[in-house]
Structure 1
Amino acid sequence: MNHRNLLQALLLTIGTYTGIGSAQEIKLELNKMEPQPETKACRAYLVFDNSAGAAIEALQLDLILFDRTGVIARRLAVDTAPLRAAKTTVKLFDIPDLDCNDVGRILINEVLECRDADGAHADCIERLTLSTRAETQLVK
């Protein structure tokens, strides 16, 4: 094996080991929950950090909202795309007829749709890394 082939094999091995060319993580932060008294809704602010990955053309989340006692209060499907590559993006959505103080936990139950330029992906829920700045927990 010559030096060029050896270098190519080494780079391929390193790339596979570090995840280069594979699905990258998408950081998702629940930043805040804000009451909307005029519409009697709760507005959730989500911060997506897609700095390590490709642009996401479709990302629809199945969310289950639990009250402070652990009882399911609501189920929502939220479309959060598009997410540009190498970009942090804020998405917000309103939860009608629900007081923000009543939401204790938000579960990302499923990723209903996840697609980039290469097509649909089945591993998007695993790619999500979650955090929260709100009093409401964000889990998967």
Structure 2
Amino acid sequence: MKYTSQVHLLAPIACVLTFLGGMDAVGAEDTPPPLGVEIELNALADQGGACRLSFLAQNTHDMDIEEAVFETVLFDQSGGVMMLTLFDFQALPTGRPRVRQFDLADVQCAAVGRVLINGASRCRSGGQDSQICTEALGLSSRTKVELLG
């Protein structure tokens, strides 16, 4: 009987903890994301003699980006520069995630060690050149290849 009474005492505590944990989740949803551009290296896949890099990009600024072109550097597994190229992410409307893919001819994905977003080569917002693409730029990777900037 003593065991049963301890279970009865723990049940209300567990309910309170569950309720409080749920409150944290609700509060997190109410917090708006920070303003900026988030770019995630989502996948790398060999496609017919090319390495296809797939990125998930989201503009959390309060205004649309009409054009975003990033200077990008690929490093091999030993840290040497493989190539410097421009990735045209095109328009990034505010609050709407976009997937952008880039095929790198004659590159095997296994050879790519890191990817560096070196800066914005071109960024237009509000009909004019802007710094909005690199202000609060957040970078992450779902792959073994590090994305940095």
Unmatched tracts of structure 1, length 5 or more: 1-22
- 1:26–1:53 contact (8 Å) kept in structure 2: no
The equivalent residue for 1:106 is 115
Q: Return the offset for 1:72.
A: 0.3
- Name the stretch that deviates more: 59-68 or 48-57: 48-57
Whole-angstrom distance in 1 between the partners of 2:67 and 2:85: 16
The equivalent residue for 2:65 is 56
Q: Deviations over 1:75-108 (max 9, x none)?
A: 1111101111220110111011110011010011
Q: Does 1:135 align with 2:108?
A: no
The equivalent residue for 1:42 is 51
Aligned-pair identity (%): 31
- 1:29–1:131 contact (8 Å) kept in structure 2: yes
Between Structure 1 and Structure 2, how many residues are aligned?
Answer: 116
Instruction: Decide which structure has greater helix share.
Output: 2
TM-score with structure 2 length normalisation?
0.73
Whole-angstrom distance in 1 between the partners of 2:42 and 2:62: 21
Q: Does 1:80 align with 2:95?
A: no
The equivalent residue for 2:40 is 29
CA RMSD of aligned residues (A): 1.6
Unmatched tracts of structure 2, length 5 or more: 1-33
- 1:33–1:100 contact (8 Å) kept in structure 2: yes
